[in-house]
Amino acid sequence: MHASTAPLFGWHDHSALRDALAAAAEDAIIYDLDGIGRQYAALCAELPGAAIRFAMKACPVDEVLDHLARLGSGFDAASPQEIVQALRTGVAPELIHYGNTVKSDRNIAEAYRLGVRDFATDSREDVAAIAEHAPGSRVFCRIATTGDGALWGLSHKFGCSPEDALRVLGSARAAGLVPSGLSVHVGSQQMTAEAWGEAIETLAALLETLNWHGIVPDRINLGGGLPALSVLDRRGRPLEPPLDKMLTVIREGVERLRAVNAAPLDFLLEPGRHLVADHGAIRAHVARLTSRHRLDGIREDWLYLSCGKFNGLYEMDQLQYRLEFPTRPGGQFVNAVVAGPTCDSDDAYAQDGMVRVPCTIASGDPVWVHSCGAYAAAYTTQGFNGFAPLPYTCIGGPAPDGGGA
């Protein structure tokens, strides 16, 4: 039996983050490095055969990357700029791959100059460019998935059919590249274990075909998609992803794919939100609680916050983050629509996703926004309507002398 990691995940161990939220006098994003480290360790323990390459886009914050690098993580980078940031952690270039199938000649040449030799691809055009600007490199072909079961399917822009993959890896081999492997991404905030099951079946069939054609990959990248655990759906209901089941399917899939391939296979995973989402929070404040009538006569209460879609809560139209009103724990509540501070109508929770808000809440009161550590910093605009990016702080991590936390 596999030991359960439940106590390490999710909503359970957030005392340090809560203390930091309570101590914050001004708005800020706070990342709990120890929480991120525990999440990383738990994932490694669950999937001991897989190397982790953190998808930087989920949290391109130097301290977070430094901490993950110290723990042994590599990085999934999507541009030369991200590669430079990853290298600043001191990680070896071999632990960085260029995971973006979209790249210009210049991007490829720059990544190669920086020492990266692993490139994701999904087209023969991209392979030809890699062969020219990153000669001899390893390529892994991204296979399209349906994205079913995920909040963000990622099914259109990336990945090719298995038939195309044969052509893509064949052209890589012919061009002097190493047709090193296959990758998939089952969609971000994936909510079903079946998505990995289906992807693994597709990969198994494709491995057999590739082997038959004399292409024997040495690695499989099972992508991102592992979920945040403590966010709510658009209407405010807990999402409760079946994490244990997902990990079981992945473990079994690793064995299955190893059994199919004619040579040993290494496995990579490039989680983003799963490592950071539940270990970042925002200290925001109330702009105002208002009440007004819609055109159909129905009264609606609205809670406007100091942060929203353009400065920390980019995904607020697809999910809800748990809110806490630390200075107003009891009393009467109204059900309100929550929105950010800008003059933009997308900057709001779904209108049918009411949140219980204390009636006495006043402009300036602190609000804690939980589990928003993923995609908060990266998706922040430079000053939409003049609202500047939130400053961030990190808690935990190594002691200043370089020792343990």
Ligand X SMILES: Cc1ncc(COP(=O)(O)O)c(C=O)c1O
Interface ranges with ligand X (CB under 6 A): 55, 58, 76, 99, 185, 188, 223-226, 270-274
The neighbour count for residue 71, using CB atoms within 10 Å, is 15
**Least spacing, CB of residue 159 vs ligand X, in Å:** 10
Phi and psi at residue 362, to the nearest 5°:
-130, 155
CB 152 within 8 A of CB 189: yes
**Least spacing, CB of residue 98 vs ligand X, in Å:** 10
User: Closest CB to ligand X among 6 and 102?
Assistant: 102
**Least spacing, CB of residue 223 vs ligand X, in Å:** 5
**Least spacing, CB of residue 374 vs ligand X, in Å:** 6
User: Closest CB to ligand X among 134 and 276?
Assistant: 276
List the end-to-end C-alpha distance of the chain, in Å, as a whole number.
Answer: 31
CA distance 321 to 367: 12
**Least spacing, CB of residue 72 vs ligand X, in Å:** 18
User: Closest CB to ligand X among 236 and 271?
Assistant: 271
User: Closest CB to ligand X among 179 and 272?
Assistant: 272
User: Closest CB to ligand X among 16 and 378?
Assistant: 378
**Least spacing, CB of residue 180 vs ligand X, in Å:** 16
**Least spacing, CB of residue 152 vs ligand X, in Å:** 7
CA distance 123 to 116: 19
Q: Which amino acid is at 365?
A: D
CB 405 within 8 A of CB 397: yes
DSSP 44-62: HHH-TTEEEEEEGGG---H
Q: Which helix (H) or strand (E) holds 189?
A: strand 188-190
Q: For the purposes of burial, counting CB atoms within 10 Å of the CB of 170, is it exposed (0-12), middle (13-18) or buried (19 or more)? A: middle
User: Closest CB to ligand X among 35 and 271?
Assistant: 271
**Closest CA relative to residue 52, chosen from 75, 78, 77, 79:** 75
User: Closest CB to ligand X among 99 and 366?
Assistant: 99
